[in-house]
Structure formats: structure tokens, C-alpha cells
């Protein structure tokens, strides 16, 4: 196991929907020979979806049972476990080696969601772009695991291979683990700001 994991097995790939978690986590798990776990899929196939919240267009998960299941999976795995989820804070923090938060410029995210998630309401798209603008996933991860385990990777304009290489460099200790992305310091087009204001 890579020494920077310090005996802990879970590598959490977080980020807002559309940031590229699944694409990156799948490639990373192949490169590392790690077990890949998608929390949404795991919840669904394990019958841990409690109910559907129509107002938020999302499923409510039976969190306690999912945490128990994750504990078992991670404890019994002989390899690192890559957790793919935007609610990775459910992973028991004593198992977590690192949380990699994929950050994507809100303009690229809006473009991607409008193209790829045509069935989403504008409200859901706007809320997720706003969440990225505000750094919600990073804040949630820091609250759950503490600042030292949380690292951001700017994926804007990068291919999945380039993103995976950046993540590998953090895991290997070649690149520093930092959280320093603040989109509010960057230029955000009025198109994005107006979309958020209109629909969220």
C-alpha cells in the first residue's frame, strides 16, 4: 500500500454531480488495483433508499445502515477502497486516508450539466452550480474529516487521465494536499450568475 495512506484504506472521491467523480474513481481504482464503491449504487442495490424527496429530486438514504455496511466492506478489503460519492462524509473518518474533492469552474460545470443532464430541472442544475461556486463539498468534507485529510483538485479543462494523474500525485505524496480553490476570486460570467439567481 502507498505509504501516504498511513494504513487507512478509504480514498474518497467527492465533488458535485458532473464533476467527474465516477470517471476518475473508476480509472483510479484500475490504476491502484483498488476496490471501487459507488455509494449511490451501493445504497440502491442494498435496499438502503428509504424514500424519495420530490422537492429536492433526491433519495433519502438509510444512513446508519449504509455506514455499517461501509465499515464491513472497508474492514474486510485487502486493497485500498475508492469511494465515489458526493456524500462521502458518511464514510467513517477512522477509515479515511484522504478525501479528494474534484473542483470544476462553475461555467464548465453549467455547460456540462446543461448538455449531459437534460432530464434535470433548471432548479437542480442551478443548485449544484451554486454548491460548486460556494465550495460546499470541500466544506462538508472538512467538517467530517478535518482539514488535513481534504485535498482539492481543479479538473477544469482536464481530461479524465490528467485528473487521475493529479489525484495519484497527491496520493503518492508528490503533490501537496491543499484546499485553496475559491471560484469567487475568479471571473464568473453573468450568464452563470443569472442562471443561479433565476432558478435556484
Ligand X SMILES: Nc1ncnc2c1ncn2[C@@H]1O[C@H](COP(=O)(O)OP(=O)(O)OP(=O)(O)O)[C@@H](O)[C@H]1O
Q: Which residues bind ligand X (CB under 6 A)?
A: 15, 17-23, 86, 112, 116, 155, 158-160, 163
**For ligand X, which is the closer residue by CB, 19 or 43?**
19
Q: Tell me the closest approach of the beta carbon of residue 59 to ligand X, in angstroms.
A: 13
Q: Tell me the closest approach of the beta carbon of residue 128 to ligand X, in angstroms.
A: 9
Q: Tell me the closest approach of the beta carbon of residue 162 to ligand X, in angstroms.
A: 7
What 3-state class would DSSP assign to 92?
A: coil
**For Mg ion, which is the closer residue by CB, 21 or 124?**
21
Q: Tell me the closest approach of the beta carbon of residue 117 to ligand X, in angstroms.
A: 8
Phi, psi of 70, rounded to the nearest 5 degrees: -60, -40
Dist CA 138 CA 93 (whole Å): 15
Partner whose footprint covers residue 158, from ligand X, Mg ion, none (CB < 5 to 8 Å by kind): ligand X
For residue 34, the 8-state DSSP code is P
Chain residue whose CB lies nearest ligand X: 20
Each residue 6-25 as x (binds Mg ion by CB under 5 A) or -, in order, gives ---------------xx---
**Residues 6+ positions from 80 with CB-CB distance below 8 Å:** 1, 2, 5, 9, 10, 11, 32, 34, 35, 97
User: Is the CB of residue 120 less than 8 Å from the CB of residue 139?
Assistant: no
Amino acid at each position: 500500500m502507498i505509504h501516504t495512506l498511513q494504513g487507512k484504506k478509504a480514498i474518497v472521491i467527492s465533488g458535485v454531480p458532473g464533476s467527474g467523480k465516477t470517471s476518475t474513481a473508476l480509472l483510479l481504482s484500475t490504476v491502484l488495483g483498488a476496490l471501487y464503491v459507488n455509494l449511490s449504487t451501493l445504497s440502491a442495490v442494498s435496499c438502503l433508499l428509504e424514500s424519495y424527496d420530490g422537492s429536492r429530486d433526491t433519495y433519502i438514504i438509510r444512513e446508519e445502515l449504509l455506514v455499517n455496511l461501509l465499515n464491513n466492506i472497508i474492514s474486510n478489503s485487502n486493497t485500498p477502497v475508492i469511494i465515489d460519492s458526493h456524500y462521502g462524509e458518511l464514510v467513517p473518518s477512522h477509515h479515511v486516508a484522504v478525501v479528494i474533492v474534484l473542483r470544476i469552474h462553475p461555467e464548465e460545470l453549467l455547460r456540462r450539466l446543461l448538455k449531459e443532464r437534460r432530464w434535470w430541472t433548471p432548479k437542480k442544475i442551478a443548485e449544484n452550480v451554486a454548491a460548486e461556486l460556494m465550495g460546499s463539498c470541500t466544506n462538508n468534507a472538512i467538517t467530517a474529516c478535518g482539514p488535513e485529510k481534504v485535498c482539492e483538485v481543479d479538473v477544469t479543462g482536464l481530461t479524465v487521465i490528467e485528473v487521475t494523474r493529479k489525484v495519484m500525485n497527491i496520493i503518492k505524496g508528490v503533490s501537496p494536499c491543499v484546499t485553496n480553490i475559491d471560484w469567487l476570486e475568479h471571473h464568473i460570467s453573468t450568464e452563470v450568475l443569472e442562471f443561479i439567481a433565476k432558478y435556484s
